[in-house]
Structure formats: C-alpha cells, structure tokens
Chains A and B, each alone.
Chain A
C-alpha cells in the first residue's frame, strides 16, 4: 500500500509539469521571468548595496577605509551635513519637483486647449495644426532646449554668446528667462504638450457627444458643460497625463543640463551625474534610489486615479454627429495664432540648427560669416573652426553614428522580439500569476528615470565580477533593451489582445505547430503593430542621451553623447550640426514607419 501512495502523488505533478511545458506560452513566460529578474532585480540589489559601500577614489581618500567596506557615511553626508545636504539634495529635489509639476501643468494647458479646439470646435486648418503640433514630440526634448538657448542667449547672461533674438532684434532676455527653472519648464512642457494633446484629444474624440448634448438640452450653458461635464469626465485622463509628464520631467536629464549648467541650477538627475563624476558614487546611488521611489509612487498614484469606480468608460454612441462649437469671428485669429505657434516650435528649431551650424562667429547671421566647414571642412580650415574637419569628414563622427545606428538596430531586434513574445505569452495566459509577474517585471524599468537606470548598471559594471562589461557595446545594448522593453511589451500585449484566441485555436486544431502559427497567422494579422514595435526602439535609441552618458567608454563613442561633449566644450556649431543630423535621421525613420504601417502619431484626432 505504502509503495503506491508516493506514486499517486508524484504522477499528477509530472503530468502537470508536462502539460505546463507543452504550452509555448508557459515556456516563454518562464524564460522571461528568469531573465527579467536577473536584469532588473539584480542591478537593483547591486545599487542598494552600493549605497552602503565605499568606492575607490574620492570616497576612499576621504573616509580612509578600504574599498568595498560598509559605511553609512553616504547617508550622513547627504542628509546630515546641512550645507552639503541643501546644495546636493534638497535644492535639486525642489528644483526637480518645480520643473516636473510646472511642465506637467504647462503641457496639459497647451495640449488640452489644442485638443479641445481640434475636437470640439469648428477651427480652421485642423488637419494641418494637428499634424504640425505633434511634430516636436518626435524630436528629442533636448533639441528644444538647444533651440531655446540658440534663440534667447545673449551677451548679458551665461557665457555671453549672442543668440538669434539679440542678433536680429536686439532683444536681451533676462537670465531667468534664458537659463534655469523657467526655460526648463517651458521646454519640457512644450515638448510633452503633444503627448497631452494625443491623450486628451483621444478621449475627447471618443467621448460620447451625447453626454454633452444631454446637458445642453437640460439648459446648461457652454461654460457650465465644460466645467461640470467635460472636465470631470476627462479628469482621470488629465490627471494621469499630468503624472506621466511629471515623471518624465522629473527624470529629464538632458534639458536641465542644457538649460541649467550656465547658472549651476541642478535637478536630481543632473546632480546624480555630477556627484558620480565627482567621485561621490554612494550619494549618487542614493539619489538614484530616491528617484526610483518617487517614480514608483507617481505610478501608484496614477493607478489609483485611473482605477476609481466612477472612472471613465467609453460608451460608444452616435458621437459621429457631434455638433461643433462655432468660434465665429475668433476662428481666424485662433487658428492663425495656433498655426504660427506650432510652426514656430516645429520648423524654427530645424532652421535654427541649420543656421547655427554654418556660422563662424556665433550671433552674426550675415552671409559673409557663413561657412560649410563645420559640415564638410577639411584639415585646411582647422584653424578657423578649431576642429580638424567638418562632421561629415570626421571619422569619429561616422564611427559614433555607425555605433548609434548599430545599437539602435540591435536593441530594436531584441526589444521588438521580446515585446511581441511577452505580449503573446501574457495574453494567452492572462490571469495566471506568472503572466502577471512577467508583465509587471517588464514594466518595472519604466519606473526608473533613465539616469538612475544608467547609474544602476554602472554600479554593476564597476563591480569586480562584471568589470569586463564596463564601457562595452554589449552593456549599452543590454541597458537600452531593458529600459525600452516596457513600451514594447505594453504594445505587444495590446496588439495580441486584439486577436481572439479562437483564431489561433482554429489553426491548432489543424495541427499547425506553434512556430508556424506565429509566423503564418498571428504576425501577419498584427503586422503593422509589430513593425512599429520594432521601429519605435530605433527612434528611442537614436535620441537617447541620459541612459548612455554614464556608460559610454568615452564621450565621443556615440553620436548623442558626442553632441553633449561638443556642447560642454563650446563647439556649438558642431553641436547644432549633429543635432540636425539626428533629427533628420529620426524624421526619416518615422516617415518609414508611417509608410510601412500607415500609422501616424496624431491619427484619428485631427479632423
């Protein structure tokens, strides 16, 4: 009797395991569970321990204890030392919070207003405004920052370089307008306003017009309707948009670097890097940890708001028959202002970079001051430009571009494939604890500001057992893959949700093997979603700076980090040239995406 019992217990388990592994979705989930745990939790733990250990260099010299020994000194210094604490933690934190909330409000104000005009009024030239308005969102945020300095810097502030406004109109803006928190808020807010426009506009567009019409019939005025009906209904969306812009603004590194360096205005991200570069790694890691905590908190708040019981649910009705608000006389003025503003922020940066990249003496826009040396100059003109040759003639630049493109393609391959597989597996096993864990793990890197994420991997790469990784192309690829996975896995899940399981099951009944089912049925159906899943990471990598800046072996290793070194060393023309190059590449990729998938950023909102 006793010999049978263990068998009885063992058999079901064996069968259960066999059944479990016979489903490809389970295998995929298990593989990702292991990989993602290692790739996000392990660095996290490394970072945590680094907050309490002594690093070589400044820390060792200061503390006079051996590298790697435990210490609470980083915390003491960052929080207990009053002056140091104020300068290196509290002020940057406050600045970050001001920039984040300011840009969140600004982004919503601009994006929401435009969204309302486009979806709810009879504004002229809607299609044009909508298309041009979202354009700046494609460009990296720092291009707008660079544009801002190009426009407004003047002889009285910062390095005293003459900008366009001064040169053309003799306009000298005060320092607070050119550098510091105000321009940071303006730039980040403007950069993310298309994002707010897309989210709020999407909801306004889908929101049933009868909700507003029924209020009209009950004799509510237009203003009352906006206040009592429209805004409360889109409020959860507005809040979550605010929080997303807030967290992006909080994590932003490049914009504060461009606009804060001149006045030494630090945010947490720029402080993090400054501390690490100054040899205070431990404190840098603490700041990274604080940023991650805040990111998590913000996302939690977001989930709370979007999950409430009176939350907005789309009820499809006859909303095609929405009656648009007539702007009457104001129509021409409002559309003209919007067109001018959108054109200014979409087209002017390109013009400005093109101009800045061909003038010898900054601030002098006369024709005699122009040269193409910064683009195609050779050794002969080195004396005038201060560099051996123009960027198109420079092998370092080409190597940087080559590496960046290579990195982008490699990351796209990895991220696109992983996102799709995660999407497939999570949707097929929806509701199981495994799929929930994997989905959350894949989303986890989103919570971490890019700078903090780079910091974590720096901590790993500088640890003894992973020294070989430091400064390698492999490390950059790995970091970028993990960091950009959240978007890919989200879009993978969303696109797979559209396919009813019966479609795959019908093939399973015919005995079609899994690989063939994927290749012949699921991929073709979701072709455009999958293509954009592969192409989005390309754009992300092409414009990423913060993630790579700590991890590249030397600043000119990649095109984007090279741009920063140009800027720090004062070669503004080269910086502008490289920026223009990057923007053009991104536009080219985006056009390719549109052509291949027929999807555009503002699809379905404008007109």
Chain B
C-alpha cells in the first residue's frame, strides 16, 4: 500500500531555495495537506513527488519504490509513478468532449472500449455530470469543469491522488460543496490524497495530517487539531485559525519546573504548563485563541471596545487593553458601543507560551491572572 517518503529533499531554482531539506512521511490512505502562504514551496513539493519537477537532491519513495534518488540517479517519469494529479486550473483539453477527456487516461492503459465506457459512466454518475457528457470544456461552468477534472483524474483509479489548489478557482459556495465531496471521495476511493492549499480552513476541515511550510522549510507536520492547539511556533499559530490568535507580550519573572510567573498587560499572572518548561528566555509571548478570551463581567482584564464585527453565528470583538489590541470571539450576535468598557478573562487549558527570541512553543497549559 502506498506510503510516500521524502528524505532530505531540496529544490533550488538558481540561487533561490524553494524547498529546504524536507523530510516527510505520508501514510497510506492519509489525506495530507501541504499548507502555507504563496511561494512557500508547497506546490513545488507536490510537483516533485508527482515527478513533474526534479528535485535538486534527496530521495523520494512511493510504496517503498524509490522514484527519485539523487545519489543513485533514479528519476522515474510521472507516468511510471501510478499517480493522479488534479490541477488548479483543471487542465481540461479544450478540443475533447467531457467523455473524451475522462476516457483518455483509460485509453492510454489500453482498456477495451466496453470497459472504458462502463468506467466513464461510473465516474459521470459519481460526480453527477452525466448530462454534460457530450459537451466541450468551454461550455461548462467552473464547478462542472472541476467535476470533470476530478472524474478524469479518478478514472484510472490511481492509488495516490495529488491535488494542487483544486478549489481556488471556485466561488465560495461551490468551494464549500466541493470540500464536502472531496472528503467523501477520499473515503469512497480508498486512496491516498495529497492536497496543496493556502486556505487554512480547507486544510483544517479536510485533512488527516497538515504539513505547514514557510519559505521552503517545514514548520510543523501534525493532525489539524494538534496544529491548532499545539502550534510549534508563532508562524504556525498565526497562520492557522481565524481570527488569528492573540499574542500578548509578557516578561518572565520566575520559572519553576512547569510553572512560570509572568508580568503582562500590567498585571501578574501564572502559567502552568502540562510539562516542564525549558528554553525560555526573558521575553515571552502568550498565545491565546480568541475563543479563550471571553468577555464577561468580573473578568480580570479591563478593555475598551475598538470595533465589533457580528457575523450572525458568532461575533468578533476587538478591544484594546492598555497598548495591546485583543481579539475575542463571542458566540451569537452581540453589539457593543465603540469605546464601551468591558472585562475579559483568559480561560481553558490550551494557552500557548512562546519564547519571543526563538519564536518557539515552550509550553501549553493554563493561565491565571491575578
């Protein structure tokens, strides 16, 4: 069963380093998302695994077979890697009908006509595009083109499916629908999905593992909730989650195994981590997700409202506490007058402490403000 292993993979374009010493194990039947801002090397990584791009050095194994090895000079072309690839712009052939587009890959496998017909039918049904079978791509809407592209990719039943931002050309509503269907397809097809996106919500909702990259360097490789709750560094913490996590500057007063005394927002506070704290300097940042910063009477922090953004189901409130702007998310619709005084609290056991110098996560735990 296909497991994909990347060992010390590097990719340089002239002097620009696109991917820097990447090590990754993609488990069989996983749904792995390569996430990161544009230009972080995620598409390059995907294309290297698929064989569309040649790494500068390193080793890539698919299903135990080395498809690329810079030392042994192995470099299998994409067609020998038994993969499927879904392109961002669908890459449907404009001169072929929907049927011809889907059947092409099967023809290449020298299937007989009856079998091809049956398989194309199956694909058309699966993606609910039977009525478009005779149309040309130019005559389809974006969402329909997307479905045809998926059908074409899935038709030869590849064991690994690569997708390069497949939903980014769709409108918001369609994107939501397709997201659901992709997740469903993943279970139905029983294959490994590797998915590139810059949309953290997509990564969170779809994948079993998220590989977060920045400027060619792997930042964290973990299940989505772990990424969310235990971000490895400030970049990961700020990239994942919307609205963004609050980073409150704090002075470290005293460290005692798993407990740190802090001075923040003009108050003293005590952070208790789930494990012993090491590698923490004088300056720290306390990472608090907006949902762990409720507005409530009797809260320890007093702040004045800067703006309120009600979205129906929840409301995002921005309030300034001294010089620090804090973001809080409140369930339901609430509206506060501008400059109104409110009190806030820090709750929950998923408060993250970062070292300001190294940007690293040094502990996750609870915070008590005195």
Task: State whether these chains interact.
Answer: yes
Contact status B95-A233, CB under 8 Å: yes
Residues in chain B near residue A318, CB distance under 8 A: 43, 88-89, 164
The answer to whether residues A211 and B91 also contact, given A228-B104, A313-B138 and a CB cut-off of 8 A, is: yes
- Interface residue? B85 (CB, 8 A): yes
Q: Which of A197-240 contact B (CB under 8 A)?
A: 208, 210-211, 213-221, 224, 228-229, 232-233, 235
Chain A residue at minimum C-beta to C-beta distance from B13: A321
User: Which of A220, A228, A232, A311 has a CB less than 8 Å from the CB of B79?
Assistant: A220
The answer to whether residues A315 and B89 also contact, given A218-B156, A310-B136 and a CB cut-off of 8 A, is: yes
In the complex, A210→B89 CA distance in Å? 8
The answer to whether residues A220 and B104 also contact, given A210-B89, A317-B87, A323-B53 and a CB cut-off of 8 A, is: yes
In the complex, A233→B95 CA distance in Å? 6
- Interface residue? A14 (CB, 8 A): no
In the complex, A220→B104 CA distance in Å? 9
Q: How near does chain A come to B336, taking the closest CB pair, in angstroms? A: 39
Most chain B CB within 10 A, of A213, A219, A220, is at: A219
Chain A residue at minimum C-beta to C-beta distance from B104: A218
- Interface residue? A312 (CB, 8 A): yes
User: Which of A214, A220, A235 has a CB less than 8 Å from the CB of B91?
Assistant: A214
User: Which of A215, A224, A311 has a CB less than 8 Å from the CB of B94?
Assistant: A311
Residues in chain B near residue A323, CB distance under 8 A: 52-54
Residues in chain A near residue B232, CB distance under 8 A: none
User: Which of B78, B95, B156 has a CB less than 8 Å from the CB of A310?
Assistant: B95
Q: How near does chain A come to B142, taking the closest CB pair, in angstroms? A: 11
Q: Which of B76-107 contact A (CB under 8 A)?
A: 77-79, 83-85, 87-91, 93-96, 104-105
Chain A residue at minimum C-beta to C-beta distance from B164: A318
- Interface residue? A309 (CB, 8 A): yes
Contact status A312-B156, CB under 8 Å: no
- Interface residue? B172 (CB, 8 A): no
Contact status B87-A214, CB under 8 Å: yes
In the complex, A208→B94 CA distance in Å? 11
Residues in chain B near residue A311, CB distance under 8 A: 94, 138
Contact status A216-B78, CB under 8 Å: yes
Q: Mark A301-338, 1 if CB is under 8 A from B, else 0.
A: 00000000111110111100101000000000000000
The answer to whether residues A211 and B93 also contact, given A217-B78, A310-B138 and a CB cut-off of 8 A, is: yes
Contact status B94-A313, CB under 8 Å: yes
Residues in chain B near residue A309, CB distance under 8 A: 136, 138-139
Residues in chain B near residue A233, CB distance under 8 A: 93-95
Count of A interface residues, CB-CB < 8 Å: 29
- Interface residue? B109 (CB, 8 A): yes
Q: Which of B36-75 contact A (CB under 8 A)?
A: 43, 47, 50, 52-54
Contact status B84-A217, CB under 8 Å: yes
Count of B interface residues, CB-CB < 8 Å: 31
In the complex, A232→B95 CA distance in Å? 7
Contact status B108-A213, CB under 8 Å: no
Contact status A213-B52, CB under 8 Å: yes
In the complex, A428→B53 CA distance in Å? 46
Q: How near does chain A come to B169, taking the closest CB pair, in angstroms? A: 9
The answer to whether residues A220 and B108 also contact, given A233-B95, A323-B53 and a CB cut-off of 8 A, is: yes
Contact status B138-A208, CB under 8 Å: no
In the complex, A55→B43 CA distance in Å? 75
Residues in chain A near residue B83, CB distance under 8 A: 217
Contact status B156-A317, CB under 8 Å: no
In the complex, A84→B138 CA distance in Å? 53
Q: How near does chain A come to B157, taking the closest CB pair, in angstroms? A: 12
Chain B residue at minimum C-beta to C-beta distance from A212: B91
The answer to whether residues A321 and B53 also contact, given A214-B91, A215-B104 and a CB cut-off of 8 A, is: yes
Contact status A208-B104, CB under 8 Å: no
Residues in chain A near residue B136, CB distance under 8 A: 309-310
Chain A residue at minimum C-beta to C-beta distance from B138: A313
Contact status A214-B85, CB under 8 Å: yes
Q: How near does chain B come to A220, taking the closest CB pair, in angstroms? A: 5
Contact status A317-B89, CB under 8 Å: yes
Q: How near does chain A come to B339, taking the closest CB pair, in angstroms? A: 38
Most chain A CB within 10 A, of B50, B93, B105, B156, is at: B93
Contact status A213-B95, CB under 8 Å: no
Residues in chain B near residue A316, CB distance under 8 A: 89
Q: How near does chain A come to B17, taking the closest CB pair, in angstroms? A: 16
Q: Mark A230-262, 1 if CB is under 8 A from B, else 0.
A: 001101000000000000000000000000000
| Chain B residues packing against A (C-beta within 8 Å) | 43, 47, 50, 52-54, 77-79, 83-85, 87-91, 93-96, 104-105, 108-109, 136, 138-139, 152, 156, 164
The 5 closest A-B pairs by CB, nearest first: A218-B105, A210-B91, A317-B89, A219-B79, A232-B95
Write 17 A-B pairs (CB below 8 A) sorted by A numbering: A208-B89, A211-B93, A213-B78, A213-B85, A216-B78, A217-B52, A228-B104, A232-B96, A309-B136, A310-B94, A310-B136, A310-B138, A316-B89, A317-B87, A317-B88, A318-B88, A323-B54
Given contact pairs A220-B79, A318-B89, enumerate 12 new A-B contacts (beta carbons under 8 Å). A210-B87, A211-B93, A214-B152, A216-B52, A217-B79, A218-B104, A219-B105, A220-B108, A224-B108, A232-B96, A317-B91, A323-B53
